[in-house]
């Protein structure tokens, strides 16, 4: 189904978090969502979201830069053109604009939302068809305070909302981080899966020391312990330890995935639509991983509901051996959608209906939009 893009509008939306969210590179008290509305000549509107973490502390695209790239470069490139699908859309964007995958992801998402609405199909059908309508979703304990994290974990277990947790470590001394992680693992119990995300904070020597203790303490997965550029360190660690390594920042595209897999990496890849350039682009990486026998995990950039749902439509079409972390909406004090996602029993329900299957609350969008 061909669509002609008429216009693209863009907002920066600032929403406070329910508590400080501590990572190795930043502590977040507010999240900025870059929201776009794509209007097509067929009388349909598609919505997209691009969200990053901590301004420029995480990566090279800030919310302000994403908005600028869309308004000044990508939207003028696309408006007035007709596309019969995402492949043609991506080709046009990639031919004239290098990088800027977060901005491209928002536009690819909006196009898929619009196309699904015209065809009367959910985005998951456009991506191959959902294998499931319920996907596992963990919760990140990231207050930075061991006792507060234990209390939060026990409460969520008692409520039945989550049964798997990830810890953000790497900002403090190794001994402090290891003590923190193992105390939480011990307090929450052997039946509860605990993973850690180091957010690139360790060099190889530190990672070997830390992973030895984490493996002995029963941690199930270690995410991106070493810097993004040091692929060899990830390969070395994946071959040395039984506890799996989750590659995140080091693997954005299918080319990155091939480079790691062909050089002996084992473990898992964290898929993120923002770092790949959209839901379809993220699935290209997933297919490389599947061919190489590497596990898959549905990663988040702490998006709101719109961006989280775009990811969930993609994740629903493949076997996610390590589940997902699409908890972003739960970290926000509010959102810009009419109906929130259903989180329960350690899972999240994929919305039904044409396109993304969500409705934007115009009043909340206007309230939280940066003036």
Q: What is the CATH number of the domain that holds 56?
A: 3.30.390.10
- 361 domain residue, yes or no: no
- 106 domain residue, yes or no: yes
Query: Could you give the number of structural domains in the chain?
Result: 2
Q: Do residues 116 and 169 share a domain?
A: no
- Rounded distance, CA 290 to CA 10, Å? 35
pLDDT tens readout for residues 8-58:
999 999 999 998 887 766 788 899 999 999 999 989 999 999 999 878 877
Query: Is 22 annotated as catalytic?
Result: no
Catalytic residue of the set 22, 67, 166, 168: 168
Q: Do residues 160 and 66 share a domain?
A: no
pLDDT of residue 54: 79
pLDDT tens readout for residues 126-169:
999 999 999 999 999 988 899 999 999 999 999 989 999 999 99
Query: Max CA-CA distance within the chain?
Result: 59
Against a cut of 0.75, is the pTM above it?
yes
Residue 363 phi/psi, 5-degree rounding, is -65, -45
Q: Do residues 219 and 106 share a domain?
A: no
Q: Do residues 200 and 92 share a domain?
A: no
pLDDT of residue 59: 80
Q: Do residues 170 and 262 share a domain?
A: yes
pLDDT of residue 254: 96
Q: Do residues 336 and 257 share a domain?
A: yes
Q: Do 298 and 311 touch, CB atoms closer than 8 A?
A: yes
- 360 domain residue, yes or no: no
- Rounded distance, CA 284 to CA 281, Å? 5
- Rounded distance, CA 293 to CA 37, Å? 38
| Residues making up the chain, counted from first to last | 371
Q: Which of the listed residues 120, 142, 165 is the one where a domain comes to its end?
A: 120
pLDDT tens for each residue of the chain, 371 residues long: 799 999 999 999 999 999 888 776 678 889 999 999 999 998 999 999 999 987 887 788 999 999 999 999 999 999 999 999 999 999 999 999 999 999 999 999 999 999 999 999 999 999 999 999 999 999 999 888 999 999 999 999 999 899 999 999 998 999 999 999 999 999 999 999 999 999 999 999 999 999 999 999 999 999 999 999 999 999 999 999 999 999 999 999 999 999 999 999 999 999 999 999 999 999 999 999 999 999 999 999 999 999 999 999 999 999 999 999 999 999 999 999 999 999 999 999 999 999 999 999 999 999 999 98
Q: Do residues 106 and 141 share a domain?
A: no
- 88 domain residue, yes or no: yes
Q: Residue 144: which CATH number?
A: 3.20.20.120
pLDDT of residue 5: 98
- 358 domain residue, yes or no: no
Q: Which of the listed residues 120, 138, 157 is the one where a domain comes to its end?
A: 120
Q: Do residues 334 and 243 share a domain?
A: yes
- 354 domain residue, yes or no: no
Instruction: Report which of 50, 9, 65 is spatially closest to residue 303, judged by C-alpha positions.
Output: 50
Q: Do 193 and 220 touch, CB atoms closer than 8 A?
A: yes
Q: Do residues 71 and 191 share a domain?
A: no
- Rounded distance, CA 330 to CA 137, Å? 11
Q: Which of the listed residues 88, 120, 152 is the one where a domain comes to its end?
A: 120
- Sign for the CA dihedral angle at 248, 250, 253, 257 comes to negative
- 328 domain residue, yes or no: yes
- Rounded distance, CA 304 to CA 361, Å? 13
pLDDT of residue 26: 74
pLDDT of residue 56: 83
Instruction: Report which of 328, 132, 323 is spatially closest to residue 246, judged by C-alpha positions.
Output: 323
Instruction: Give the containing element (helix H, strand E) for 268.
Output: strand 268-271
pLDDT of residue 24: 67
Range of the structural domain that residue 71 is part of: 3-120
């Amino acid at each position: 189904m061909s669509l002609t893009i008429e216009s693209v509008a863009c907002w920066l939306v600032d929403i406070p978090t329910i508590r400080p969210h501590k990572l190795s590179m930043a502590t977040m008290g507010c999240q900025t969502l870059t929201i776009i509305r794509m209007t097509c000549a067929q009388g349909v509107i598609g919505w997209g979201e691009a969200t990053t973490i901590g301004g420029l502390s995480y990566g090279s695209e800030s919310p302000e830069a994403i908005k600028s790239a869309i308004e000044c470069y990508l939207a003028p490139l696309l408006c007035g053109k007709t596309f019969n699908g995402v492949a043609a859309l991506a080709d046009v964007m990639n031919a004239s604009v290098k990088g800027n995958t977060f901005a491209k992801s928002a536009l690819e998402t909006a196009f898929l939302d619009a196309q699904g609405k015209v065809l009367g199909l959910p985005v998951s059908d456009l991506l191959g068809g959902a294998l499931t309508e319920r996907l596992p979703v963990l919760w990140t304990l990231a207050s930075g305070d061991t006792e507060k994290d234990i209390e939060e974990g026990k409460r969520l277990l008692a409520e039945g909302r989550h049964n798997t947790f990830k810890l953000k470590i790497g900002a403090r001394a190794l001994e402090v981080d290891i003590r923190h992680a193992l105390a939480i693992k011990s307090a929450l119990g052997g039946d509860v899966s605990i993973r850690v995300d180091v957010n690139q904070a360790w060099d190889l020597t530190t990672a070997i020391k830390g992973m030895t203790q984490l493996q002995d303490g029963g941690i199930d997965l270690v995410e991106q312990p070493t810097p993004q550029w040091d692929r060899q360190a990830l390969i070395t660690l994946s071959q040395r330890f039984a506890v799996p390594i989750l590659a995140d920042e080091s693997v954005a595209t299918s080319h990155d995935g091939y480079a790691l897999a062909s050089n002996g990496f084992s473990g898992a890849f964290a898929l993120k639509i923002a770092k790949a350039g959209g839901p379809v682009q993220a699935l290209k990486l997933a297919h490389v991983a599947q061919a190489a026998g590497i596990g898959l995990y549905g990663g988040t950039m702490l998006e709101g509901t719109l961006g989280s749902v775009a990811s969930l439509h993609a994740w629903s079409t493949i076997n996610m051996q390590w589940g997902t972390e699409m908890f972003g909406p739960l970290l926000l004090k509010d959102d810009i959608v009419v109906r929130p996602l259903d989180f329960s029993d350690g899972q999240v329900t994929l919305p039904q209906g044409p396109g993304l299957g969500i409705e934007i609350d115009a009043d909340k969008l206007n309230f939280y939009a940066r003036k």
